[in-house]
Amino acid sequence: MKWEKYTIQTTTQAEDFVSSMLADLGVEGVQIEDNIPLSAEDKEKMYIDILPELPPEHLHLAEAVNCRLMDEIRVMREKYPFLNRIGRPLEPSGDNAVDTSVETYQLGELLTYSQQTLNALLRHIDALKAQGDSLAMQIQLASLQTTGVSSFEDAAELVAYGRPVG
């Protein structure tokens, strides 16, 4: 067996979500280097087979996460209107043969997550909101930063001058 090591820097608050997400992606083991070992119960929960048919409560949970994220994305796009001109359309009414809306794509992605991961994600979204932060804003900013753009304001300026972002 070949072992591959990846280093992911995250917060303690997001640890459950990140570990569960990796399990959903097929990673068979996660070593957390914060000197807090996983319990036997946590390790057992990480090994979840993908079920061919999802129970209704799984769908409701995915829809709840999607709804919260969509609310955050709407607020973000109100604050930064240039985001409406780049990327996917926001609503399913924008779905067509070429483009899939953020809402449709995101729900499809969330349905691949385990209920454990969806619950961890809900807790993470709530914790960020309680701190006045937004997961949608964090994700969008991180995406912009991968293209060399350091802030929403810098991206807005580039779009205003007709320069590509990303």
Averaged pLDDT score across all residues of the chain: 84
Let me know if residue 37 belongs to a domain.
Answer: no
Let me know if residue 82 belongs to a domain.
Answer: yes
Q: Provide the CA 133 distance to its chain's centre, in angstroms.
A: 14
| Structure-derived torsion over alpha carbons of residues 119, 8, 165, 79, reported in degrees to the nearest 10 | 40
pLDDT score of 10 more than 50: yes
Overall domain count for the chain: 1
Per-residue pLDDT, averaged over 115-133, amounts to 96
pLDDT score of 156 more than 70: yes
Let me know if residue 58 belongs to a domain.
Answer: yes
- List the single range of 27-31, 39-43, 64-68, 152-156 with lowest mean pLDDT: 39-43
pLDDT, residue 52, reads 52
| Higher per-residue confidence, 81 vs 6 | 81
Structural contact between residues 104 and 62, judged by C-beta atoms closer than 8 angstroms: no
pLDDT score of 51 more than 50: no
Cβ neighbour number for residue 93 with a 10 Å cutoff: 9
pLDDT, residue 15, reads 78
Q: How far apart are CA 117 and CA 45, in angstroms?
A: 10
Let me know if residue 30 belongs to a domain.
Answer: no
Per-residue pLDDT, averaged over 134-161, amounts to 90
Q: How far apart are CA 150 and CA 165, in angstroms?
A: 11
Maximum Cα–Cα distance across the chain: 55
Q: Provide the CA 55 distance to its chain's centre, in angstroms.
A: 22
Let me know if residue 11 belongs to a domain.
Answer: no
| Higher per-residue confidence, 147 vs 8 | 147
- Find all residues with CB under 8 Å of 158, minimum gap 6, and list them: 149, 164, 165
- List the single range of 68-77, 110-119, 120-129, 146-155 with lowest mean pLDDT: 146-155
Q: How far apart are CA 18 and CA 33, in angstroms?
A: 13
Let me know if residue 63 belongs to a domain.
Answer: yes
Let me know if residue 2 belongs to a domain.
Answer: no
Range of the domain at 56: 49-160
Structural contact between residues 92 and 103, judged by C-beta atoms closer than 8 angstroms: yes
Q: pLDDT confidence of 45, banded at 50, 70, 90?
A: low
Let me know if residue 8 belongs to a domain.
Answer: no
pLDDT score of 162 more than 90: no
| Higher per-residue confidence, 4 vs 100 | 100
Q: What percent of the chain has pLDDT over 90?
A: 39
